[in-house]
Amino acid sequence: MEKLWRNITILLIMIVISISTTTHTIQAYNKLNTSQYNGLYTYICDVDYDGVTKVTITYDSYITSGRSWLLVPRNFTKYTLTVISGSIVHEEVKRAYTKEGEEFAFYDNFTFTYLGDSNFKLKLNYTMDNGALIVEPRCFFYSPQIYFNPADTGIVYIYLPGDSKVLEGNVQPPPTSITFEDGKQKITIKLQTNSARIAIEYTTSRPGNLKTYSKGIFEVITPHRYMDIAENLIRTYETFYTNLTKIFSVNLTSIRIIFFAPRMADLGTGGYIPFNGTHLGNIYLNLLYTRTVQGFWEQIALHELIHHFTWAAGISPNVLWLHEGLAEYLSIKLTMNMGWTGALSRVKTLENIAKQLSDNYGFVQWWNPLQTPSNILSYYAASYIIVKTVVEENGGISFLQKLFREIKGTTISDTNTLIHYMSIAAGRDLTLKFISFGFKVTEESEIYKMIVEAKYALMKKRWAQPFALIANWLLDTSINMLSSGNIILAKIIGWIGIFISMLAVTLTVALWGGILVLLTMKVRGEDEL
Ligand SMILES: [Zn+2]
Protein backbone atom coordinates (compact mmCIF):
# COMPACT_ATOMS: atom_id res chain seq x y z
CA MET A 1 0.00 0.00 0.00
CA GLU A 2 2.78 2.43 0.93
CA LYS A 3 4.00 2.36 -2.64
CA LEU A 4 0.62 3.38 -4.01
CA TRP A 5 0.23 6.36 -1.74
CA ARG A 6 2.83 9.01 -2.08
CA ASN A 7 3.61 10.37 1.34
CA ILE A 8 5.88 13.24 0.40
CA THR A 9 5.76 16.74 1.85
CA ILE A 10 2.64 15.98 3.82
CA LEU A 11 3.74 17.55 7.07
CA LEU A 12 4.90 20.71 5.37
CA ILE A 13 1.64 21.15 3.51
CA MET A 14 -0.47 20.50 6.55
CA ILE A 15 0.84 23.56 8.37
CA VAL A 16 -0.52 25.83 5.65
CA ILE A 17 -4.21 25.44 6.40
CA SER A 18 -6.16 28.59 5.72
CA ILE A 19 -7.70 30.70 8.46
CA SER A 20 -10.96 30.74 6.51
CA THR A 21 -11.58 27.23 7.86
CA THR A 22 -12.75 28.67 11.15
CA THR A 23 -15.22 31.01 9.49
CA HIS A 24 -16.79 28.20 7.43
CA THR A 25 -17.29 26.11 10.52
CA ILE A 26 -19.05 28.75 12.54
CA GLN A 27 -21.29 29.77 9.63
CA ALA A 28 -22.26 26.17 9.08
CA TYR A 29 -22.88 25.64 12.76
CA ASN A 30 -25.21 28.59 12.88
CA LYS A 31 -27.08 27.46 9.79
CA LEU A 32 -27.74 23.96 11.05
CA ASN A 33 -30.24 23.21 13.70
CA THR A 34 -27.68 21.93 16.16
CA SER A 35 -29.84 21.76 19.26
CA GLN A 36 -30.47 18.06 18.73
CA TYR A 37 -26.76 17.33 18.28
CA ASN A 38 -23.78 17.51 20.64
CA GLY A 39 -21.55 19.05 18.03
CA LEU A 40 -20.69 19.61 14.38
CA TYR A 41 -18.06 17.94 12.20
CA THR A 42 -16.91 20.06 9.28
CA TYR A 43 -14.94 18.33 6.53
CA ILE A 44 -13.04 20.55 4.13
CA CYS A 45 -11.34 18.89 1.15
CA ASP A 46 -9.19 21.14 -0.98
CA VAL A 47 -8.31 19.35 -4.21
CA ASP A 48 -5.48 20.51 -6.49
CA TYR A 49 -4.76 19.87 -10.20
CA ASP A 50 -3.03 16.58 -9.41
CA GLY A 51 -5.86 15.34 -7.21
CA VAL A 52 -3.77 15.90 -4.07
CA THR A 53 -6.32 16.72 -1.38
CA LYS A 54 -5.75 18.69 1.81
CA VAL A 55 -8.27 17.46 4.33
CA THR A 56 -9.22 19.59 7.33
CA ILE A 57 -11.72 18.24 9.82
CA THR A 58 -12.96 20.42 12.66
CA TYR A 59 -15.23 19.48 15.52
CA ASP A 60 -17.19 22.22 17.31
CA SER A 61 -19.29 21.71 20.39
CA TYR A 62 -21.01 24.19 22.66
CA ILE A 63 -21.82 21.79 25.49
CA THR A 64 -19.72 21.92 28.66
CA SER A 65 -18.51 18.33 28.43
CA GLY A 66 -19.01 15.44 26.07
CA ARG A 67 -17.62 12.45 24.22
CA SER A 68 -17.25 11.87 20.51
CA TRP A 69 -15.37 9.84 17.92
CA LEU A 70 -14.42 9.99 14.24
CA LEU A 71 -12.37 8.05 11.72
CA VAL A 72 -8.73 9.09 11.31
CA PRO A 73 -6.21 7.81 8.71
CA ARG A 74 -4.56 4.61 9.88
CA ASN A 75 -1.70 4.03 7.49
CA PHE A 76 -1.99 5.93 4.19
CA THR A 77 -0.93 9.30 5.53
CA LYS A 78 -0.03 11.06 8.77
CA TYR A 79 -2.37 13.46 10.50
CA THR A 80 -2.00 16.29 13.00
CA LEU A 81 -4.48 17.03 15.71
CA THR A 82 -4.86 20.37 17.47
CA VAL A 83 -7.17 21.39 20.29
CA ILE A 84 -8.13 25.00 19.54
CA SER A 85 -10.52 25.64 22.38
CA GLY A 86 -11.40 23.71 25.58
CA SER A 87 -9.52 20.55 26.49
CA ILE A 88 -9.41 16.80 25.96
CA VAL A 89 -9.53 14.80 29.20
CA HIS A 90 -9.24 11.38 27.62
CA GLU A 91 -8.36 10.12 24.16
CA GLU A 92 -7.93 6.74 22.53
CA VAL A 93 -7.06 5.48 19.04
CA LYS A 94 -8.48 2.03 18.32
CA ARG A 95 -9.47 -0.18 15.40
CA ALA A 96 -12.52 1.07 13.51
CA TYR A 97 -15.44 -1.03 12.29
CA THR A 98 -18.31 -0.42 9.88
CA LYS A 99 -21.93 -0.57 11.04
CA GLU A 100 -21.91 -4.15 9.77
CA GLY A 101 -18.92 -4.97 11.95
CA GLU A 102 -16.24 -5.08 9.25
CA GLU A 103 -12.84 -3.68 10.12
CA PHE A 104 -11.72 -0.57 8.21
CA ALA A 105 -8.40 -1.26 6.51
CA PHE A 106 -7.35 2.38 6.21
CA TYR A 107 -8.93 4.08 9.21
CA ASP A 108 -8.77 4.03 12.97
CA ASN A 109 -11.34 5.23 15.46
CA PHE A 110 -10.27 8.28 17.45
CA THR A 111 -12.45 8.56 20.57
CA PHE A 112 -12.15 11.53 22.93
CA THR A 113 -13.80 13.01 26.00
CA TYR A 114 -13.69 16.82 26.16
CA LEU A 115 -14.45 19.81 28.32
CA GLY A 116 -15.75 22.93 26.66
CA ASP A 117 -14.64 26.28 27.96
CA SER A 118 -17.96 27.59 26.65
CA ASN A 119 -16.83 26.07 23.35
CA PHE A 120 -14.75 23.00 22.48
CA LYS A 121 -12.96 22.97 19.16
CA LEU A 122 -10.70 20.34 17.66
CA LYS A 123 -8.88 20.40 14.33
CA LEU A 124 -7.42 17.53 12.36
CA ASN A 125 -5.35 17.87 9.17
CA TYR A 126 -3.99 15.44 6.67
CA THR A 127 -3.15 15.12 2.99
CA MET A 128 -4.49 12.47 0.68
CA ASP A 129 -2.36 12.05 -2.43
CA ASN A 130 -5.00 10.63 -4.75
CA GLY A 131 -8.12 12.27 -3.33
CA ALA A 132 -9.12 12.81 -6.96
CA LEU A 133 -8.04 10.54 -9.81
CA ILE A 134 -7.27 12.56 -12.89
CA VAL A 135 -6.79 11.50 -16.51
CA GLU A 136 -7.37 14.81 -18.25
CA PRO A 137 -9.99 15.92 -19.07
CA ARG A 138 -11.77 13.43 -16.83
CA CYS A 139 -11.52 13.71 -13.04
CA PHE A 140 -13.10 11.79 -10.19
CA PHE A 141 -13.01 12.90 -6.58
CA TYR A 142 -13.61 10.24 -3.95
CA SER A 143 -13.47 11.50 -0.40
CA PRO A 144 -11.86 9.76 2.53
CA GLN A 145 -14.34 7.69 4.52
CA ILE A 146 -16.49 10.04 6.60
CA TYR A 147 -17.83 8.44 9.76
CA PHE A 148 -18.39 9.95 13.21
CA ASN A 149 -20.40 9.70 16.41
CA PRO A 150 -24.13 9.61 15.52
CA ALA A 151 -24.85 12.12 18.33
CA ASP A 152 -23.09 14.74 16.15
CA THR A 153 -23.92 16.16 12.75
CA GLY A 154 -21.74 17.03 9.77
CA ILE A 155 -21.20 19.24 6.76
CA VAL A 156 -18.73 18.82 3.89
CA TYR A 157 -17.10 21.44 1.66
CA ILE A 158 -15.16 20.28 -1.38
CA TYR A 159 -13.01 22.84 -3.21
CA LEU A 160 -12.05 21.95 -6.79
CA PRO A 161 -9.72 23.98 -9.06
CA GLY A 162 -11.52 26.96 -10.60
CA ASP A 163 -11.66 25.61 -14.15
CA SER A 164 -13.40 22.38 -13.06
CA LYS A 165 -16.79 21.67 -14.58
CA VAL A 166 -19.20 19.91 -12.24
CA LEU A 167 -22.80 18.96 -12.92
CA GLU A 168 -25.13 18.70 -9.95
CA GLY A 169 -26.18 15.19 -11.00
CA ASN A 170 -22.55 14.07 -10.82
CA VAL A 171 -22.17 14.66 -7.08
CA GLN A 172 -23.04 11.93 -4.58
CA PRO A 173 -24.69 12.37 -2.11
CA PRO A 174 -26.67 15.22 -3.76
CA PRO A 175 -25.07 18.62 -3.05
CA THR A 176 -26.72 21.40 -1.07
CA SER A 177 -25.06 23.95 -3.37
CA ILE A 178 -22.34 24.40 -5.98
CA THR A 179 -20.84 27.89 -5.96
CA PHE A 180 -17.73 29.72 -7.10
CA GLU A 181 -15.62 31.11 -4.27
CA ASP A 182 -12.06 32.50 -4.12
CA GLY A 183 -11.30 31.21 -7.60
CA LYS A 184 -12.45 27.67 -6.78
CA GLN A 185 -15.53 25.55 -7.31
CA LYS A 186 -17.12 24.97 -3.93
CA ILE A 187 -19.44 22.03 -3.40
CA THR A 188 -21.39 22.01 -0.14
CA ILE A 189 -23.06 18.90 1.21
CA LYS A 190 -25.04 18.87 4.46
CA LEU A 191 -24.77 15.30 5.64
CA GLN A 192 -27.97 13.40 6.35
CA THR A 193 -26.18 10.58 8.17
CA ASN A 194 -22.98 10.11 10.17
CA SER A 195 -21.37 7.99 7.45
CA ALA A 196 -20.59 9.06 3.88
CA ARG A 197 -18.26 8.95 0.91
CA ILE A 198 -18.44 11.97 -1.35
CA ALA A 199 -18.04 11.13 -5.04
CA ILE A 200 -17.75 13.84 -7.68
CA GLU A 201 -17.31 13.32 -11.39
CA TYR A 202 -15.93 16.45 -13.06
CA THR A 203 -13.76 17.64 -15.92
CA THR A 204 -10.78 19.95 -16.19
CA SER A 205 -9.73 22.17 -19.08
CA ARG A 206 -6.04 21.74 -18.25
CA PRO A 207 -4.13 19.65 -20.78
CA GLY A 208 -2.86 16.31 -19.54
CA ASN A 209 0.69 15.04 -19.60
CA LEU A 210 0.17 11.54 -20.96
CA LYS A 211 3.23 9.28 -20.91
CA THR A 212 3.97 5.79 -22.09
CA TYR A 213 5.90 3.59 -19.78
CA SER A 214 7.08 0.37 -21.41
CA LYS A 215 9.08 -2.63 -20.42
CA GLY A 216 9.32 -5.89 -22.38
CA ILE A 217 5.92 -6.74 -23.83
CA PHE A 218 4.07 -4.35 -21.49
CA GLU A 219 3.19 -0.74 -22.21
CA VAL A 220 1.24 1.47 -19.81
CA ILE A 221 -0.32 4.72 -20.97
CA THR A 222 -0.86 7.04 -18.03
CA PRO A 223 -0.69 10.65 -16.92
CA HIS A 224 2.83 11.24 -15.67
CA ARG A 225 1.58 11.60 -12.06
CA TYR A 226 0.76 7.85 -11.91
CA MET A 227 4.13 6.67 -13.22
CA ASP A 228 4.91 4.84 -9.97
CA ILE A 229 1.61 2.95 -10.19
CA ALA A 230 2.47 2.00 -13.78
CA GLU A 231 5.89 0.72 -12.71
CA ASN A 232 4.36 -1.34 -9.92
CA LEU A 233 1.79 -2.76 -12.28
CA ILE A 234 4.43 -3.95 -14.74
CA ARG A 235 6.39 -5.48 -11.87
CA THR A 236 3.23 -7.34 -10.79
CA TYR A 237 2.60 -8.57 -14.34
CA GLU A 238 6.22 -9.72 -14.64
CA THR A 239 5.93 -11.61 -11.33
CA PHE A 240 3.16 -13.81 -12.71
CA TYR A 241 3.99 -13.86 -16.41
CA THR A 242 6.16 -17.02 -16.54
CA ASN A 243 3.69 -18.91 -14.40
CA LEU A 244 0.86 -17.94 -16.75
CA THR A 245 2.78 -18.94 -19.88
CA LYS A 246 3.26 -22.38 -18.33
CA ILE A 247 -0.47 -22.74 -17.61
CA PHE A 248 -1.63 -21.54 -21.03
CA SER A 249 1.24 -22.87 -23.17
CA VAL A 250 1.49 -19.51 -24.94
CA ASN A 251 3.51 -16.32 -24.87
CA LEU A 252 1.96 -12.91 -25.38
CA THR A 253 3.49 -10.52 -27.87
CA SER A 254 2.42 -7.08 -26.66
CA ILE A 255 0.04 -5.82 -24.01
CA ARG A 256 -1.07 -2.21 -23.73
CA ILE A 257 -2.64 -0.97 -20.51
CA ILE A 258 -4.53 2.32 -20.29
CA PHE A 259 -5.35 3.94 -16.95
CA PHE A 260 -8.68 5.70 -16.64
CA ALA A 261 -10.44 7.91 -14.11
CA PRO A 262 -13.95 6.55 -13.61
CA ARG A 263 -17.25 8.25 -14.28
CA MET A 264 -20.09 7.84 -11.80
CA ALA A 265 -21.51 5.11 -14.05
CA ASP A 266 -18.39 2.95 -13.96
CA LEU A 267 -17.52 3.42 -10.33
CA GLY A 268 -17.95 -0.34 -9.86
CA THR A 269 -15.87 -1.36 -12.89
CA GLY A 270 -12.33 -2.28 -11.92
CA GLY A 271 -11.16 -2.89 -15.46
CA TYR A 272 -12.25 -4.03 -18.89
CA ILE A 273 -11.09 -5.06 -22.36
CA PRO A 274 -13.08 -4.16 -25.48
CA PHE A 275 -13.76 -7.03 -27.90
CA ASN A 276 -15.01 -6.42 -31.44
CA GLY A 277 -15.59 -10.01 -32.47
CA THR A 278 -12.15 -10.54 -33.97
CA HIS A 279 -9.71 -8.65 -31.73
CA LEU A 280 -9.19 -8.37 -28.01
CA GLY A 281 -8.33 -4.74 -27.26
CA ASN A 282 -6.21 -2.90 -24.71
CA ILE A 283 -6.54 -3.40 -20.97
CA TYR A 284 -8.31 -0.48 -19.26
CA LEU A 285 -7.79 -0.15 -15.52
CA ASN A 286 -9.77 2.05 -13.13
CA LEU A 287 -7.33 4.15 -11.09
CA LEU A 288 -9.78 4.41 -8.20
CA TYR A 289 -8.96 0.84 -7.27
CA THR A 290 -5.37 1.74 -6.51
CA ARG A 291 -6.88 3.09 -3.27
CA THR A 292 -7.36 -0.43 -1.92
CA VAL A 293 -5.63 -3.07 0.17
CA GLN A 294 -2.74 -4.78 -1.64
CA GLY A 295 -4.11 -7.58 -3.77
CA PHE A 296 -7.34 -5.83 -4.74
CA TRP A 297 -6.01 -3.75 -7.65
CA GLU A 298 -3.51 -6.51 -8.51
CA GLN A 299 -6.32 -9.06 -8.75
CA ILE A 300 -8.24 -6.80 -11.13
CA ALA A 301 -5.12 -6.19 -13.22
CA LEU A 302 -4.30 -9.91 -13.38
CA HIS A 303 -7.91 -10.76 -14.23
CA GLU A 304 -7.59 -8.60 -17.36
CA LEU A 305 -4.18 -10.05 -18.29
CA ILE A 306 -5.60 -13.58 -18.01
CA HIS A 307 -8.24 -12.68 -20.62
CA HIS A 308 -5.36 -12.06 -23.03
CA PHE A 309 -3.77 -15.40 -22.16
CA THR A 310 -7.09 -17.25 -22.53
CA TRP A 311 -7.65 -15.59 -25.90
CA ALA A 312 -4.11 -16.35 -27.09
CA ALA A 313 -4.62 -19.97 -25.98
CA GLY A 314 -7.54 -20.30 -28.40
CA ILE A 315 -10.66 -19.55 -26.35
CA SER A 316 -13.08 -17.10 -27.95
CA PRO A 317 -14.64 -14.54 -25.58
CA ASN A 318 -17.98 -15.88 -26.81
CA VAL A 319 -17.44 -18.68 -24.30
CA LEU A 320 -17.52 -15.88 -21.78
CA TRP A 321 -18.18 -18.08 -18.74
CA LEU A 322 -14.80 -19.77 -19.21
CA HIS A 323 -13.04 -16.44 -19.85
CA GLU A 324 -14.47 -14.77 -16.75
CA GLY A 325 -14.37 -17.88 -14.59
CA LEU A 326 -10.69 -18.49 -15.36
CA ALA A 327 -9.80 -14.80 -15.01
CA GLU A 328 -11.39 -14.69 -11.56
CA TYR A 329 -10.16 -18.08 -10.39
CA LEU A 330 -6.53 -17.68 -11.44
CA SER A 331 -6.15 -14.00 -10.49
CA ILE A 332 -7.53 -14.71 -7.02
CA LYS A 333 -5.37 -17.80 -6.59
CA LEU A 334 -2.18 -16.06 -7.74
CA THR A 335 -2.62 -12.92 -5.63
CA MET A 336 -3.63 -14.90 -2.55
CA ASN A 337 -0.54 -17.09 -2.98
CA MET A 338 1.54 -13.92 -2.65
CA GLY A 339 -0.09 -13.25 0.71
CA TRP A 340 -1.89 -10.18 -0.69
CA THR A 341 -5.18 -10.21 1.13
CA GLY A 342 -6.94 -7.59 -1.01
CA ALA A 343 -8.50 -10.30 -3.19
CA LEU A 344 -10.32 -11.78 -0.17
CA SER A 345 -13.28 -9.43 -0.45
CA ARG A 346 -13.76 -10.51 -4.08
CA VAL A 347 -13.75 -14.18 -3.05
CA LYS A 348 -16.36 -13.45 -0.35
CA THR A 349 -18.59 -11.56 -2.80
CA LEU A 350 -18.40 -14.29 -5.44
CA GLU A 351 -18.98 -17.14 -3.00
CA ASN A 352 -21.91 -15.45 -1.26
CA ILE A 353 -23.65 -14.76 -4.55
CA ALA A 354 -22.93 -18.27 -5.83
CA LYS A 355 -24.58 -19.72 -2.70
CA GLN A 356 -27.82 -17.91 -3.54
CA LEU A 357 -27.82 -19.57 -6.97
CA SER A 358 -28.17 -23.00 -5.32
CA ASP A 359 -26.15 -24.93 -7.92
CA ASN A 360 -28.04 -23.51 -10.92
CA TYR A 361 -25.28 -22.06 -13.04
CA GLY A 362 -26.47 -23.06 -16.53
CA PHE A 363 -27.54 -19.51 -17.43
CA VAL A 364 -23.91 -18.51 -18.02
CA GLN A 365 -23.72 -20.82 -21.03
CA TRP A 366 -25.34 -18.09 -23.16
CA TRP A 367 -23.39 -15.19 -21.71
CA ASN A 368 -21.45 -13.27 -24.40
CA PRO A 369 -19.50 -9.99 -24.60
CA LEU A 370 -22.37 -8.27 -26.40
CA GLN A 371 -24.79 -8.52 -23.51
CA THR A 372 -24.46 -6.92 -20.08
CA PRO A 373 -27.01 -8.54 -17.82
CA SER A 374 -28.32 -6.42 -14.94
CA ASN A 375 -27.39 -9.10 -12.39
CA ILE A 376 -23.89 -9.41 -13.85
CA LEU A 377 -22.32 -10.39 -10.52
CA SER A 378 -24.34 -13.64 -10.59
CA TYR A 379 -22.70 -14.39 -13.95
CA TYR A 380 -19.21 -13.79 -12.53
CA ALA A 381 -20.00 -15.83 -9.42
CA ALA A 382 -21.44 -18.81 -11.34
CA SER A 383 -18.53 -18.79 -13.83
CA TYR A 384 -16.02 -18.64 -10.99
CA ILE A 385 -17.60 -21.59 -9.15
CA ILE A 386 -17.84 -23.72 -12.31
CA VAL A 387 -14.16 -23.17 -13.16
CA LYS A 388 -13.03 -23.64 -9.56
CA THR A 389 -14.99 -26.90 -9.22
CA VAL A 390 -13.91 -28.40 -12.54
CA VAL A 391 -10.26 -27.40 -12.09
CA GLU A 392 -9.99 -28.56 -8.49
CA GLU A 393 -11.81 -31.85 -9.04
CA ASN A 394 -9.52 -32.75 -11.93
CA GLY A 395 -6.00 -32.13 -10.78
CA GLY A 396 -5.77 -28.35 -10.31
CA ILE A 397 -3.33 -26.30 -12.37
CA SER A 398 -1.98 -29.42 -14.14
CA PHE A 399 -5.51 -30.00 -15.50
CA LEU A 400 -5.43 -26.52 -17.03
CA GLN A 401 -1.97 -27.16 -18.48
CA LYS A 402 -3.23 -30.36 -20.13
CA LEU A 403 -6.36 -28.59 -21.38
CA PHE A 404 -4.46 -25.79 -23.09
CA ARG A 405 -1.90 -28.20 -24.56
CA GLU A 406 -4.83 -30.12 -26.10
CA ILE A 407 -6.50 -26.97 -27.42
CA LYS A 408 -3.29 -25.50 -28.92
CA GLY A 409 -3.77 -24.55 -32.55
CA THR A 410 -7.58 -24.52 -32.53
CA THR A 411 -10.14 -21.88 -31.61
CA ILE A 412 -12.97 -22.79 -29.31
CA SER A 413 -16.10 -20.71 -29.54
CA ASP A 414 -18.78 -22.92 -28.03
CA THR A 415 -19.31 -24.75 -24.78
CA ASN A 416 -19.84 -28.22 -26.31
CA THR A 417 -16.43 -28.28 -27.97
CA LEU A 418 -14.90 -26.95 -24.77
CA ILE A 419 -16.44 -29.75 -22.69
CA HIS A 420 -15.02 -32.22 -25.19
CA TYR A 421 -11.48 -30.86 -24.65
CA MET A 422 -11.98 -30.60 -20.91
CA SER A 423 -12.99 -34.26 -20.85
CA ILE A 424 -9.78 -35.22 -22.67
CA ALA A 425 -7.71 -33.20 -20.16
CA ALA A 426 -9.56 -34.73 -17.20
CA GLY A 427 -9.27 -38.25 -18.59
CA ARG A 428 -13.01 -38.76 -18.07
CA ASP A 429 -16.27 -37.55 -19.60
CA LEU A 430 -17.34 -34.29 -17.94
CA THR A 431 -20.68 -34.01 -19.78
CA LEU A 432 -22.73 -35.12 -16.78
CA LYS A 433 -20.85 -32.72 -14.54
CA PHE A 434 -21.85 -29.83 -16.80
CA ILE A 435 -25.44 -31.08 -16.97
CA SER A 436 -25.45 -31.03 -13.16
CA PHE A 437 -24.44 -27.34 -13.34
CA GLY A 438 -27.55 -26.78 -15.48
CA PHE A 439 -25.82 -26.67 -18.89
CA LYS A 440 -27.58 -27.83 -22.07
CA VAL A 441 -25.13 -30.12 -23.79
CA THR A 442 -26.99 -30.55 -27.10
CA GLU A 443 -26.96 -28.97 -30.54
CA GLU A 444 -28.22 -25.61 -29.16
CA SER A 445 -24.57 -24.65 -29.02
CA GLU A 446 -24.57 -24.37 -32.83
CA ILE A 447 -27.39 -21.85 -33.07
CA TYR A 448 -25.90 -19.88 -30.14
CA LYS A 449 -22.59 -19.62 -32.01
CA MET A 450 -24.36 -18.35 -35.13
CA ILE A 451 -26.46 -15.86 -33.18
CA VAL A 452 -23.39 -14.34 -31.54
CA GLU A 453 -21.59 -14.17 -34.90
CA ALA A 454 -24.64 -12.44 -36.40
CA LYS A 455 -24.59 -9.92 -33.55
CA TYR A 456 -20.92 -9.05 -34.22
CA ALA A 457 -21.70 -8.71 -37.93
CA LEU A 458 -24.53 -6.32 -37.05
CA MET A 459 -22.07 -4.08 -35.14
CA LYS A 460 -20.59 -3.20 -38.56
CA LYS A 461 -24.02 -2.53 -40.07
CA ARG A 462 -25.40 -0.17 -37.45
CA TRP A 463 -26.51 2.28 -40.14
CA ALA A 464 -28.76 -0.34 -41.75
CA GLN A 465 -31.87 0.74 -39.87
CA PRO A 466 -34.43 -0.24 -38.87
CA PHE A 467 -33.41 -3.79 -39.89
CA ALA A 468 -30.24 -3.96 -37.77
CA LEU A 469 -32.30 -3.01 -34.74
CA ILE A 470 -35.01 -5.57 -35.49
CA ALA A 471 -32.44 -8.33 -36.10
CA ASN A 472 -30.58 -7.48 -32.89
CA TRP A 473 -33.78 -7.56 -30.88
CA LEU A 474 -34.70 -10.97 -32.33
CA LEU A 475 -31.22 -12.34 -31.61
CA ASP A 476 -31.30 -11.09 -28.00
CA THR A 477 -34.77 -12.57 -27.55
CA SER A 478 -33.51 -15.87 -28.89
CA ILE A 479 -30.57 -15.93 -26.43
CA ASN A 480 -32.94 -15.11 -23.56
CA MET A 481 -35.14 -18.01 -24.63
CA LEU A 482 -32.15 -20.35 -24.82
CA SER A 483 -31.26 -19.46 -21.24
CA SER A 484 -34.81 -20.02 -20.06
CA GLY A 485 -34.95 -23.39 -21.84
CA ASN A 486 -37.51 -22.48 -24.53
CA ILE A 487 -35.37 -24.14 -27.21
CA ILE A 488 -37.76 -24.57 -30.16
CA LEU A 489 -39.00 -20.97 -30.11
CA ALA A 490 -35.44 -19.76 -29.48
CA LYS A 491 -34.32 -21.55 -32.65
CA ILE A 492 -37.16 -20.16 -34.82
CA ILE A 493 -36.63 -16.58 -33.61
CA GLY A 494 -32.85 -17.05 -33.82
CA TRP A 495 -33.05 -18.13 -37.48
CA ILE A 496 -35.34 -15.20 -38.40
CA GLY A 497 -32.89 -12.86 -36.62
CA ILE A 498 -29.89 -14.34 -38.46
CA PHE A 499 -31.77 -14.10 -41.77
CA ILE A 500 -32.68 -10.43 -41.28
CA SER A 501 -29.16 -9.60 -40.10
CA MET A 502 -27.72 -11.16 -43.28
CA LEU A 503 -30.11 -9.16 -45.45
CA ALA A 504 -30.07 -5.99 -43.33
CA VAL A 505 -28.03 -3.98 -45.84
CA THR A 506 -30.07 -5.08 -48.89
CA LEU A 507 -33.35 -4.51 -47.10
CA THR A 508 -32.28 -1.06 -45.92
CA VAL A 509 -31.14 0.02 -49.37
CA ALA A 510 -34.38 -1.29 -50.87
CA LEU A 511 -36.55 0.41 -48.23
CA TRP A 512 -34.89 3.84 -48.26
CA GLY A 513 -34.29 3.67 -52.03
CA GLY A 514 -37.98 2.90 -52.50
CA ILE A 515 -39.03 5.77 -50.28
CA LEU A 516 -36.71 8.12 -52.17
CA VAL A 517 -38.14 7.02 -55.53
CA LEU A 518 -41.69 7.51 -54.25
CA LEU A 519 -40.85 10.98 -52.92
CA THR A 520 -39.16 11.98 -56.20
CA MET A 521 -42.19 10.79 -58.14
CA LYS A 522 -44.44 12.78 -55.84
CA VAL A 523 -42.39 15.97 -56.24
CA ARG A 524 -42.34 15.52 -60.02
CA GLY A 525 -46.07 14.98 -59.95
CA GLU A 526 -46.48 18.24 -58.05
CA ASP A 527 -44.21 20.02 -60.59
CA GLU A 528 -46.46 18.99 -63.39
CA LEU A 529 -49.52 20.54 -61.82
ZN1 LIG B 1 -13.26 -10.17 -17.18
402/247 Cα distance (integer angstroms): 8
CA of 409 to the centre of ligand 1 (A): 23
pLDDT of residue 7: 33
pLDDT of the residue at 16? 29
Q: What is the pLDDT of residue 528?
A: 57
How far away, in angstroms, is 27 Cα from ligand 1 center?
49
Which of the four pLDDT bands, split at 50, 70 and 90, describes residue 482? confident
Of the candidates 266, 307, 310, 314, the residue with the CA atom closest to the CA atom of residue 283: 307
What mean pLDDT value characterizes the chain? 89
Cα of 307 vs centre of ligand 1, distance in Å, is: 7
Distance of CA 46 from the midpoint of ligand 1 (Å)? 35
Q: Which CATH number is 210-440's, of 3.90.1150.10, 1.10.390.10, 3.40.190.10, 3.40.50.720?
A: 1.10.390.10
CA of 381 to the centre of ligand 1 (A): 12
The answer, yes or no, to whether residue 449 has pLDDT greater than 80, is no
Contacts of 299 (CB under 8 A, 6+ apart): 331, 332, 335, 340, 342, 343, 346
Residue 311 CA, ligand 1 centroid: distance in Å: 12
| pLDDT score of 165 more than 70 | yes
Q: In this structure, how many other beta carbons lie within 10 angstroms of the beta carbon of residue 340? A: 18
Ligand 1: centre distance to CA 317 (Å): 10
Question: What's the pLDDT score for residue 526?
Answer: 64
**If you measure from the C-alpha of residue 316 to the centroid of ligand 1, how many angstroms do you get, rounded to a whole number?**
13
Q: How confident is the model at residue 6 (pLDDT cuts 50, 70, 90)?
A: very low
Residue 182 exposed, middle or buried by CB count within 10 Å (0-12, 13-18, 19+):
exposed
Burial of 103 (0-12, 13-18, 19+ CB in 10 A): exposed
Alpha-carbon gap, residue 466 to 459, rounded angstroms: 13
Q: In the structure, what pLDDT confidence band is assigned to residue 10 with cuts at 50, 70 and 90?
A: very low
pLDDT in tens, 489-527: 888 888 888 888 888 888 888 888 888 888 888 777 666
Residue spans of the domains in the chain: they are: 10-203, 210-440, 462-529
* Cα 97 from Cα 112, distance rounded (Å): 17
- Map residue 167 onto helix, strand or coil: strand
Say how many Å lie between the CA of residue 326 and the centre of ligand 1: 9
Asked if residue 431 has pLDDT above 60, the reply is yes
What is the per-residue pLDDT for 485? 73
Residue 272 Cα to ligand 1 midpoint, Å, equals 6
CA of 154 to the centre of ligand 1 (A): 39
Whole-number Å distance, alpha carbon 323 to ligand 1 midpoint, is: 7
Q: Calculate how far, in angstroms, residue 224's C-alpha sits from the geometric centre of ligand 1.
A: 27
Question: What pLDDT, on the 0 to 100 scale, is given for residue 525?
Answer: 65
Tell me the percentage of the chain whose pLDDT exceeds 90: 67
Q: Residue 529 pLDDT more than 80? A: no
Distance (angstroms) between ligand 1 centre and the Cα of 379 equals 11
CA of 324 to the centre of ligand 1 (A): 5
Ligand 1 centre to CA of 322 (Å) is 10
Q: Give the Å distance between the CA of 451 and the centre of ligand 1.
A: 22
What CATH code is assigned to 10-203?
2.60.40
Please state the pTM of the whole predicted model: 0.83
Which range (84-98, 143-157, 408-422, 431-445) has the least confidence? 431-445
Residues 104-111 have a mean pLDDT of: 95
Ligand 1 midpoint to CA 294 (Å): 20
Inter-CA distances, 38 with 84, 113, 149, 431, 489, Å: 17, 12, 10, 66, 65
Q: Ligand 1 centre and the CA of 325: distance in Å?
A: 8
Q: Residues 334-375: pLDDT tens digits?
A: 999 999 989 998 999 999 999 999 888 988 988 988 878 889
Q: Which residue has the higher pLDDT, 177 or 15?
A: 177
Which of 228, 2, 13 lies closest to 106, judged by CA?
2
Helix, strand, or coil (residue 342): helix
Instruction: Read off the pLDDT of each residue in 134-150 and give the average, rounded to a whole number.
Output: 97
Write the single-letter amino acid at 120: F
Give the distance (Å) from ligand 1 centre to CA of residue 263: 19
> What does the pLDDT look like over 210-248, one tens digit per residue?
999 999 999 999 999 999 999 999 999 999 999 999 999
Share of the chain above pLDDT 70, in %: 92
Backbone angles phi, psi at 215, to 5 degrees: -155, 125
